[in-house]
Structure 1
Amino acid sequence: MASIRALAWAGATAAVGGGAGLALPSAHYLPSRLPLGGLEPDLDLGLRLVCAAALALAFALAVLTLRQRRAEPLAFASLAGIAVAGILVHYLVITLPGANRLIPAADVRPAAGAWVLLASGLVLAATGFAAAANVQRSR
């Protein structure tokens, strides 16, 4: 029972931390060095909203797990974690190196928000998988 509670608290904390990561900038760059009409290297609003929805879902699942004292709801937090981690891996691996190749003068580098969101997604995925393993063991 203590492990379920610890997993739920870890999931809730990761979701709140990811929400804080959404407020942080996701790229370091000099806007004055970007060409007019060029792509914005920061994480755009649509992706931030998808991450916010996934984090809110994970937080709700963690709260539900704490109330029910069962690991089944928390197992679904892995889906939210995979979504957030997938968005951030795509952003870090494809978008930023592409921006550096196309606009080397802009010197685009990942900022704190990208790393916090990526860590949050990975923790949520691991928490959900651990909760799913706990459910399998209890059957």
Structure 2
Amino acid sequence: MEEQRPWKRLRGPRAVIVAAAGLGIIAGLTLRTADHSGLLPPGTPDPELDLGLRLVCAAAVLVAGTLAYLTFARERDEPLAMACLPGLVVTGVILRHLVVTLPQVARFEPAARIAPGAGSWVLLTSGLVMTATGLAAAFAVRRAA
């Protein structure tokens, strides 16, 4: 009987984590990404994540799902190692949303108390999990070589 190495046993769980992070991104895209209690004055940009960036995140989910499928189909970690790229894309999009967009809108109308919504935190967490899992797969590939 062939002895299973520890990184071979973890391949399936890593692919499942990437798929779950993809579902987290989909859930985050359906939630509000900005909360504001007051009315914004006319001409103030909408603090929500815009459609273009939501589509970029959705495309990242498609790529991550494909990589998770290829990991199972080929029984190798190499495709899963690339999951860090869509994870980095989602993380970058949300960090840009949190750091650049929200403070600028709050400057226009501080009374609106604009704050990141639940969707932003779900997207950020899912992107970080996907990135970490892809990097873990990359290290497993490197150890196996």
Shorter-chain TM band: over 0.9
Task: State which of 58, 67, 82 in structure 2 corresponds to 1:61.
Answer: 67
Determine the C-alpha separation between the residues in 2 that align with 1:69 and 1:13.
19
One-letter amino acid matched to 2:44: G
Q: Please identify which structure carries the higher helix content.
A: 1
The corresponding residue for 1:113 is 119
Task: State which of 15, 25, 38 in structure 2 corresponds to 1:18.
Answer: 25
Provide the aligned length of Structure 1 versus Structure 2: 138
Task: Report if the CA contact (8 A) 2:32-2:120 is conserved.
Answer: yes
Runs of 4+ residues deviating >6 angstroms: none
5+ residue gaps, structure 2: 1-7
Instruction: Tell me, yes or no, if structure 1 residue 46 matches structure 2 residue 47.
Output: no
One-letter amino acid matched to 1:120: S
Name which one, 1 or 2, has greater alpha-carbon Rg: 2
Task: Report if the CA contact (8 A) 1:16-1:59 is conserved.
Answer: no
2:73 is paired with a residue whose SS is helix
One-letter amino acid matched to 1:26: T
Task: Report if the CA contact (8 A) 1:54-1:80 is conserved.
Answer: yes
Task: State which of 52, 69, 89 in structure 2 corresponds to 1:83.
Answer: 89
The corresponding residue for 1:2 is 9
Cα-to-partner distance string for 1:107-136 (whole Å, 9 max, x where unaligned): 111111000000010011001101110110
1:85 is paired with a residue whose SS is helix
Determine the C-alpha separation between the residues in 2 that align with 1:118 and 1:77.
15
Deviation at 1:25, TM superposition (A): 0.7
Task: State which of 82, 103, 110 in structure 2 corresponds to 1:104.
Answer: 110
What's the C-alpha RMSD, in Å, of the aligned pairs? 1.1
One-letter amino acid matched to 1:97: P
Deviation at 1:102, TM superposition (A): 2.1
2:10 is paired with a residue whose SS is helix
Identify the range of structure 1 (68-77 vs 97-106) with the bigger mean alpha-carbon deviation.
Answer: 97-106
Task: Report if the CA contact (8 A) 1:88-1:117 is conserved.
Answer: yes
Cα-to-partner distance string for 1:3-22 (whole Å, 9 max, x where unaligned): 11111110011011111110
TM-score normalised over the length of structure 1: 0.95
TM-score normalised over the length of structure 2: 0.91
Identify the range of structure 1 (39-48 vs 102-111) with the bigger mean alpha-carbon deviation.
Answer: 102-111
